[in-house]
Amino acid sequence: MELSLLLSNNLPITFIDLHLFPGSPLMKYLAGAQTSFLLLITLSNEGTKTLPADQKPVALLCIGCSLITSSVLLFLKSFWKACYKTSKLPKKATAALVLFFEFLVSLGAAVLTIVAMPHLDIVTNVTILNGVGVLSALLQVVAQCTAKERNRFLLPSITAFILILLGYILFLVLYIMKDPNDTKMAIWVGLAVGGSFLVSFNWWDNYFRLISENSGSVSLKMLCRDMTKCQNMLQILSSLLRIVVTACVLGAYVPLSKMDWGIVTSIPSRETRIIAIIIGVQLISSALCHWFAVAACKMHALRRCFILPLYLASLAVMALLIIPVIVYYQDYRISLNGTESVNFTGYCTEVVYARNQSLNGNVFPHLVLDVTHTLCFLDMSTITDIGLLSGSAVAWWLGLVLATLHLWYLNVYRIQRTQDLFIRRLYEGTFIEQSLLFNTRFDIQTKDRMKRLDKYRPKKEPKINDFTFEAHIYFDDAFNAVEGHQGHHGSELNEYAINLVKILTEVYGNFMNIDEKFFREQQQIPDQKIVRTPYGGRLVVTMPHGNIIVVHFKNKELIRHKKRWSQVMYLYYLLGWKLTSKYYGCWQRGKDEKELQAEHNTYLLALDGDTDFQPAAVMLLIDRLKMYPRVGAACGRIHPTGSGPAVWFQKFEYAVSHWLQKTAEHVIGCVLCSPGCFSLFRAEALMDDNVMKRYSTKSMEASHYIQYDQGEDRWLCTLLLKQGWRVEYNAASDAYTNAPEDFKELYNQRRRWGPSTMANVVDLLGATSLISKRNQSISKLFMFYQLFALASAILAPATICLLIAGGLTFIFNINANSALVLSVIPPAIYLGLCFKLKTDTQIIIAEVMSVIYAFLMLVVSMTIISSMVKDKTILTPNSIFVVSMAIIYIITAIMHPQEFPLVFHGFLYIICIPSAYLLLTIYSMVNMNNVSWGTRETKPAAGAAPPTTTKPQTTAQKGR
């Protein structure tokens, strides 16, 4: 039996899923939800007095609401996914099959809880819930016989099925033989057995999929595939069907029982409070139990947080309901002082039946007596009735224990999906790419990262967590020309490349000396070899733990340089040659198809030279791609490092973009850009059609320079999205990267990001119909969200001008039109100057204007606050904008407590808004076609090759 037997999302949040869902660390929510639901059933019993007889429809209505609550939530969740994801309509045969079983399950749940259980005793109502797995136990036997594996659980499954059947037999004997002439009771008992049997169909799809996998039927496999593809639409239809069926059963049963619905609108306040408290406890406990159940599954704390609560829930609920009954019965016998002997039947006659229906005072005694009333039908004074009741309860409970015995032996792997718990997957290979920057200040970080990654490689056991690790460092422009020599042999490594070789030697020496009792620095020469290549040279170093570091020294006279062409080079080297050779070698050795397919389980980690991270962050990204086959790339949480106001601004900007933008894209669609400074790519996705071939296109038009060369990471993700791959964001995978610390670096970085972002978004919007059909994670509604974001970005400069105009109006008390003209004049002058001046001069002017605008924004902020205090209202446009932004940022910061201090940088971010959204837009627009990285001011004509630069690349090169 698959673990997913107990994890069906189609279960209503009632006693059924609370009893069969995986447990939570707090079992009190499980017991509280069951107890409150059983109290609602008890109140609907016709003989109980907490609720008068004419008010029983209220309790039945609450039971129905509890049944359909999860269906309503499932409908909303599926409808949301259908809007923001690509949802396909199922075939008629698939829809008919699913809706048929969903009809049986919903009909069984409604009949069991609304019609049958109110006429049964409390012990049976508690334990019959263990018997709803009768069909699951039978299908478990069939599935294990079909698979011919894990036969050690075959005998427990057969025993579980027999025990559950025995429980039903004892239950039938107890109720029917008590009074064979009682036709009504026979009907209630029959409905209880039939309803519980229909509820056991709830897990049919899990076994249906398992049996179809072991079957040779093509139609069954196609049916399962269609169910998986159309899951959202099927859940929408099935949840609506459950709601309709439950409403029909409830609506038909009340009139047939000669009860009046009109009492629902005129129930007294005291009874209303009683019902409200019970249903509130039930719904809140159900929601908390569901949340803790999901958390337990995600953490795979199955034994202590799943199995024990699963087994002990019935016992805990039984104790909560039966112990007060016994205590009240014994207190009554003691109160008689031995004057007369009263058995349980006499207690029912003298106390339970004869009590006054007045609810003045404490309600708890009345609830206890109502629970006692359900047991009065049976003669608890006779050994026969006690034995039959206890026998059925024990048989059902033991059947549940044996049916789930396999859970104790599950080997749960790290961060694995529940439906894949029995599927073994290995980390076959991981390649590390580094776009190393030419700056010595990053040498220590590079050394530490290589040391950590090499040491982190898991041990030989368990092999499930082992992986092959290679680091490829591509050194752009690594050679200097030698005077008097020409060609390939007239070049030598420059100082930066030589420095890298020294770093590798130092790292190797640290590794070899780390285990010395008394550390003494010794010179250690690593196992290395140098190879001359057509593009320059290659250095191969074998680290002490067996991992390999390959440094590719590129000569710009022999091969195209710049970051994108380095990526094209290593992708074709790793994916086009190395993996193909590996695949061919495995094929020659006669490996089967599964092993050949596993060779494609290879990932590339893209890094910048200054990115710092822990190996665990990489494993989180690997897990993400390992779990979801259609995820082509995944990025982590980037934390900018450095000092100064520019870095403070970026820290808050990065935080807000990750808290809000990337998270929103991940949830309602998929991430549009996986930054090149720390992202993991799937090799299979990069080798897909129209990805690498299109990525290696040479820029020939002005728009190509903007989209291809200024934002290579975003363009690569655009190609993945167009091909149907999903890009995800993992907030727990942290990486730290150096941010630009001066104004010029920051502006040159954003000058590349802004136009490339806009160009790629426009490209995606132009292919909306194609992408929404090909990519399951992107819908037209999500693309409309991107269109809205693009329009907001275009209107941002105008919004800033209006905001400044509003501040000028309040400060100087001038006409609004005049203030608007004054707010537009400075950016218009800067726009004109940018067409005449060099880029360095443009940046100097922007820096001065940014300081002036910062003081102006400070004054504007103070005036807005003063305006709110003076007018005693926040219902002005400026006030609403400022207050809403402050609330959003503070709430999101509270939800990220580890990063909450970053909210204090928000004030700097606000006063720098004119510089970031107005001046930077003008600067980027004028210098849009400048394809240099900020080190040279060259504007290529359309069709010309990109210019070259020999200066060291700076942090402004970094990808997003």
Nearest Cα neighbor of 34 from 259, 315, 423 is 315
Residue 362 contacts by C-beta under 8 Å, 6 or more apart in sequence? none
Average pLDDT per run of 10 along the chain, which is 960 residues long? 29 30 48 81 84 84 88 87 79 90 91 91 86 81 67 81 91 85 88 90 77 75 83 88 93 87 79 84 79 69 73 83 87 76 81 71 82 82 84 89 77 51 33 35 46 54 56 77 60 76 68 49 58 78 74 78 73 71 64 54 80 85 84 92 90 92 90 89 85 81 79 88 92 90 88 88 91 87 91 89 81 84 91 89 91 86 78 74 84 89 88 88 80 42 36 40
Closest CA to 322 of 398, 273, 386: 386
Rounded distance, CA 891 to CA 894, Å?
Answer: 5
Give the CA-trace dihedral at 51, 57, 61, 62, to 10 degrees.
10
- How many Å apart are CA 817 and CA 813, to the nearest integer? 12
Vertex 465 angle, CA 461 and 471, to 5°: 110
Integer angstrom CA distances of residue 823 from 159, 663, 798, 804, 808: 82, 35, 10, 6, 8
CA 152 to chain centre: 35
Q: How many Cα atoms occupy the beta-carbon half-sphere of 369 within 13 Å?
A: 23
- DSSP assignment of 326-369: HHHHHHHHHHTTTSS---HHHHIIIIITTS-----S-SHHHHHH
- What pLDDT does 229 receive? 81
**Per-residue b/e over 832-843, b at no fewer than 16 CB within 10 Å?**
eebeeeebeebb
Report the distance separating Cα 387 and Cα 340, nearest Å. Answer: 26
Give the pLDDT of residue 463.
46
* CA within 13 Å, CB half, 773: 4
Q: Within a 13 Å sphere around the CA of 240, how many CA atoms are in the beta-carbon half?
A: 8
Q: Whose CA is closest to 73, among 14, 7, 132? A: 14
CB 160 within 8 A of CB 137: yes
CA distance 125 to 317: 11
The model's pTM is 0.71
How high is the pLDDT of residue 486? 58
Report the side by side order of strands in the sheet with 726-738.
Answer: 527-533, 536-542, 548-554, 469-475, 429-435, 602-608, 678-682, 631-641, 726-738, 612-613
What pLDDT is attached to residue 441? 34
CA–CA separation, 633 vs 156, rounded Å? 44
Note the pLDDT of residue 339: 61
Distance CA 290, CA 175 (A): 34
From CA 359, how far away is CA 367, in angstroms rounded?
11
509 membership: H or E segment, kind and range: helix 495-513
- Distance of alpha carbon 533 from alpha carbon 577, whole angstroms: 15
Q: Exposed, middle or buried by CB within 10 Å (0-12, 13-18, 19+), for 612?
A: buried
pLDDT at 947: 38
Residue 782's SS3 state is helix
Q: What is the pLDDT of residue 525?
A: 55
Query: Are the beta carbons of 678 and 638 closer than 8 angstroms?
Result: yes
The pLDDT value given to residue 948? 38
Is 397 in contact with 571 (CB distance < 8 Å)? no
The structure tokens listed for 230 are: 């159309």
- Give the integer Cα–Cα distance in Å for 115 and 253: 7
